[in-house]
Amino acid sequence: MRRLLIALGLLALAASAFAGEIALSDRRSGYELMGRELRAMQDDDTANPGMLWVLEGAALWKRPTGAASRACVDCHGEAAVSMKGVAAHHPAFDAAKQRPVSLDQRINNCRVDRQQAPPLAYESRELLALGAYVARQSRGLPIAVTIDDRMRPFLDAGHAIYERRQGQLNLACSQCHDDNWGRQLAGNLIPQAHPTGYPLYRLEWQSLGSLQRRLRGCLTGIRAEAYDYGAPELVDLELYLMWRARGMTMDAPAVRP
């Protein structure tokens, strides 16, 4: 009996989500919480402003660069084939760095190691364009980050950040996005915060931006010190958010208010 209870307990732990989490079937992406007009803007590739960056990314994909004078296409071929699903699997474990890296970091690793070119600055036009182009190849696919023994500590670290009260307003991400999603905050609808559509065109930014930009904006909003671009905390948090959104459909480049 005791063994059975322990086994049941372990099963529950292994299968369970973290406490307070939104039930898997209750998850809604920001797309579903937007009005009809904004959804139409996102769905039409000829009207979605994010497509301007995707097109730029398609051009950069073919442009030789760096001391190696190599283009992405030289190693990876057609992005529609080789990059399919890639964004849906990031952050992913990088053996050289012995930790998960975001898609932007992976693109920069390639630039430095394979193209012998300097890394692109975070939030630069080129990095956003390449990120948007690669993420576009995962459109319609389910988010599927791999969590194994190597990744587990980073997932836990990301989860801890998500649950930790921070900043002058002493708020944790979970308090808005798990406990109060769907309610209004200063006239805005609080989303569940699933990163299905990044990089995305945010009307408030009047530009395409990355998940890290959004996270830093939120942290600033609760009057916390925002982690720097590329900080391990932001990648860990992104890993947690992607795991939390596992199985949800990617829709990059999205449009959001």
Partner 1 sequence: MERRAFLKIAGGVAAGLGLTGIVTVKPARATPAEMQEAIRAVVGSARITPGKVKLELPPLIENGNAVPLTVTVDSPMTEAEHVRVVHVFTEKNPQPYVVSFHLGPRAGRARVSTRMRLADSQNVVAVCQLSDGSLWSDSAAVVVTLAACLEDGI
Partner 2 sequence: MASALINVPARAKRGEIIEIKTLISHVMETGFRRTQVGAVIPRNIIRRFVCSYNGAEVFSADLHPAMSANPFIVFSTIATESGTLAFEWTGDNGFSVKETAAITVE
Contact status: 189 vs partner 1 (CB under 8 A):
yes
Q: Is 201 helix (H, G, I), strand (E, B) or coil?
A: strand
Closer of 47 and 80 to partner 2 (Cβ):
47
Q: Phi, psi at residue 92, to the nearest 5°?
A: -130, 160
Rg (Cα) of the chain, in Å, rounded? Answer: 19
Contact string 40-79 vs partner 1 (x = CB under 8 A): xx-------x------------------------------
Extract the tokens encoding 24. Answer: 């898997």
Extract the tokens encoding 227. Answer: 């982690």
Catalytic (active-site) positions = 218
Do 56 and 125 form a contact (C-beta atoms < 8 A)? yes
Give the binding site for partner 2 (CB under 8 A).
Answer: 46-47, 49, 51-53, 55-56, 59, 125, 129, 206-207
- The least CB distance from residue 44 to partner 2, in Å, is 8
Contact string 143-182 vs partner 1 (x = CB under 8 A): ----------------------------------------
Helix intervals (H) in 141-231: 152-163, 173-177, 211-221
Closest CA to 240 of 206, 211, 217, 203: 211
Residues contributing to the site for partner 1 (CB under 8 A): 34-38, 40-41, 49, 187-189, 203-204, 206, 257
